């Protein structure tokens, strides 16, 4: 193999490696974009879940308040079954 053939072989190998590397870089860029998009989707999903949890906690608190008010109303209704003035049922 002459020096010229060796240099041509080296140049061809460099060219092939550059193509392979640039192809891989494109794949990596595409994968990076996909991962970034997936990360954003996961962040949005997490935010939605946190909002739903907060809403559920608020609804649970409101439900507990409503239950307490219903119990108070029931207690008041039971206390007011007879008239305090005449002693008869209203």
Q: Would you list the domain boundaries of the chain? A: 19-48
pLDDT at 23: 78
Do residues 32 and 38 touch, judged by C-beta distance below 8 A?
A: no
Tokens coding 51: 């909002």
> What is the reported pTM?
0.54
Mean pLDDT of the chain: 86
Span 8-12, mean pLDDT? 89
Span 62-66, mean pLDDT? 96
pLDDT at 89: 58
Which residues are within 8 A (CB) of 90 and not within 5 positions of it... i.e. 6 or more apart?
A: 80, 81, 82, 83
Span 14-41, mean pLDDT? 86
């Amino acid at each position: 193999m002459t020096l010229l053939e060796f240099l041509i072989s080296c140049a061809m190998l460099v060219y092939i490696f550059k193509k392979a590397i640039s192809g891989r870089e494109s794949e990596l860029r595409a994968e990076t974009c996909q991962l970034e998009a997936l990360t954003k989707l996961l962040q949005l999903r997490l935010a939605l879940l946190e909002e739903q949890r907060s809403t559920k906690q608020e609804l649970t608190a409101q439900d507990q308040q409503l239950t307490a008010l219903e119990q108070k109303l029931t207690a008041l209704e039971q206390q007011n079954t007879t008239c305090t003035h005449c002693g008869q049922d209203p």
